[in-house]
């Protein structure tokens, strides 16, 4: 056995030594019993929050384009990034909403947010659900997991840089690859398998959609392709000024970057691929509850309660604060529930960066 292998095994052991090998049954029981009536989404909250965030975001985008000064452009662009990021985060809720519980919401979100930002909901539906599967979480079959804490330090800046380039990649995917893939079955297999999901695991390959989902995928991809082709054409012909196009792409990059930063601290990223118990999965995931207020900006729409969401994925985002308060009161200090509650963004980024400096050889 090589010294590199020994170092790698030691690092993994250190990262996972504090995890319980079984489940905290009292925590799981309390989570289920205390939240039974919180599973119904409030339609008014969803619609007002999503549409209001989109309205503010697009309004600020328009102001950024017409602002006469650089300072005005930067300030309004920041507002646009935060508001559109919040509106875009509803893609996560769409993957968990039960069919029929919010009629029309998915289609409206795609029309208002998903297609214009080139992230239609099929890019997340069927992907994110695998991340919640008990036997897949943290394994090679999880499309949303990489052991970032155990990888080389350069992985983290590369991870963030990829987000900045994502809008350009999405324009190319929908404006070029979508129409070309209709002419080539081989290219279509590549596009569906590699470029049709908001996934971070480079080993994951998506299967072709079937049934009703395939039909929904078709109209969403078609609409996104038409929008991407139109946008690029308008920019190339000068109908849309290059400055306005660049500001739109820059704001979209900011939205993607903010989401990628949030992704960095959504988990501890310490699992090397072994199946994990529900409690182990919970302890590898992060809550950033109040009293801090900034988390509502960088982890909106319930994402600040990400660990709790992994315990109770069916609870709508607006009910997560209530569920959290109940569990905090009910569960003693020895409960695993308290271990995933963290204080803020920068300490979490620092922890991950420090872990990557100590980590073993990367897997990619």
Domain presence at residue 80: no
Tokens 């929050």, located at residue: 49
pLDDT of residue 361: 44
Report the distance separating Cα 170 and Cα 81, nearest Å: 17
CB 361 within 8 A of CB 152: yes
Q: What is the rounded average pLDDT of the residues 175-197?
A: 96
Domain presence at residue 53: no
**Is the pLDDT at 275 greater than 90, yes or no?**
no
Task: Give residues with Cβ within 8 angstroms of 228, minimum separation 6.
Answer: 118, 170, 171, 173, 174, 175, 178
Domain presence at residue 234: no
| Cα 133 to the center of its chain, rounded Å | 16
Q: Which two tokens stand for residue 127?
A: 């992907």
Q: Tell me, what DSSP letter sits at residue 285? A: B
Domain presence at residue 347: yes
Q: Which two tokens stand for residue 297?
A: 């900006």
**Is the pLDDT at 285 greater than 90, yes or no?**
yes
**Is the pLDDT at 102 greater than 70, yes or no?**
yes
Domain containing 348 equals: 3-39+267-358
Confidence of residue 99 (pLDDT cuts 50, 70, 90): confident
Tokens 């079984």, located at residue: 22
**Is the pLDDT at 68 greater than 70, yes or no?**
yes
The residues pairing with 305 across neighbouring beta strands, listed in sequence order, are: 287
Per residue in 4-26, pLDDT tens?
Answer: 333 233 333 333 444 445 678 88
Report the distance separating Cα 219 and Cα 223, nearest Å: 6
Report the distance separating Cα 186 and Cα 188, nearest Å: 5
CB 93 within 8 A of CB 73: no
Q: Which two tokens stand for residue 73?
A: 């452009």
Predicted structure pTM score: 0.90
Q: How many domains does the chain have?
A: 1
Report the distance separating Cα 120 and Cα 114, nearest Å: 4
Report the distance separating Cα 191 and Cα 178, nearest Å: 8
CB 102 within 8 A of CB 43: yes
Q: How far is CA 198 from CA 84, 238, 270, 317, 347, in A?
A: 17, 31, 21, 20, 26
Helices 242-264 and 43-66 pack at an angle, to 10 degrees, of 130
Domain presence at residue 314: yes
ω into residue 273 within 30 of 0, thus cis? no
**Is the pLDDT at 267 greater than 60, yes or no?**
yes
Helices 25-33 and 320-330 pack at an angle, to 10 degrees, of 130
Report the distance separating Cα 64 and Cα 52, nearest Å: 18
Task: Give residues with Cβ within 8 angstroms of 153, minimum separation 6.
Answer: 353, 356, 357, 359
Per residue in 294-328, pLDDT tens?
Answer: 999 999 999 999 999 999 999 999 999 999 999 99
Domain presence at residue 253: no
């Amino acid at each position: 056995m090589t010294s590199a292998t020994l170092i790698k095994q030691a690092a993994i052991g250190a990262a996972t030594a504090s995890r319980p090998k079984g489940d905290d049954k009292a925590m799981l029981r309390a989570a289920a019993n205390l939240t039974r009536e919180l599973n119904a989404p409030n339609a008014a909250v969803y619609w007002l929050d999503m549409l209001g965030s989109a309205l503010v975001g697009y309004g600020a985008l328009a102001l950024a384009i017409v602002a006469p000064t650089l300072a005005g452009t930067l300030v309004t662009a920041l507002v646009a990034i935060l508001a559109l990021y919040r509106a875009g985060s509803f893609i996560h809720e769409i993957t968990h909403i039960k069919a029929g519980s919010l009629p029309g919401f998915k289609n409206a979100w795609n029309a208002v947010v998903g297609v214009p930002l080139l992230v239609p909901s099929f890019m997340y539906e069927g992907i994110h659900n695998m991340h919640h599967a008990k036997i897949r979480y943290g394994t090679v079959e999880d499309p949303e997991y990489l052991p970032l804490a155990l990888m080389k330090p350069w992985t983290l800046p590369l991870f963030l840089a990829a987000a900045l380039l994502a809008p350009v990649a999405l324009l190319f995917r929908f404006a070029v690859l979508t129409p070309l893939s209709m002419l080539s079955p081989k290219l279509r297999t590549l596009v569906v398998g590699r470029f049709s999901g908001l996934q971070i695991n480079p080993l994951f390959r998506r299967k072709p959609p079937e049934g009703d989902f395939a039909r929904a995928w078709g109209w969403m991809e078609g609409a996104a392709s038409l929008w991407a082709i139109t946008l690029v054409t308008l920019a190339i012909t000068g109908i849309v000024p290059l400055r306005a196009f660049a500001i739109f792409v820059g704001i979209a990059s900011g939205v993607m970057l903010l989401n990628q930063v949030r992704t960095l601290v959504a988990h501890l990223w310490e699992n090397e691929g072994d199946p994990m118990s529900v409690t182990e999965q919970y302890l590898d995931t992060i809550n950033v509850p109040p009293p801090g207020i900034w988390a509502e900006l960088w982890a909106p729409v319930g994402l600040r309660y990400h660990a709790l969401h992994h315990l109770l994925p069916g609870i709508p985002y607006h009910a997560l604060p209530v569920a959290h308060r109940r569990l905090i009161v009910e569960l003693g200090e020895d409960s695993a529930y308290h271990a995933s509650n963290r204080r803020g963004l920068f300490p979490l980024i620092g922890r991950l960066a420090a872990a990557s400096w100590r980590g073993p050889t990367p897997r990619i």
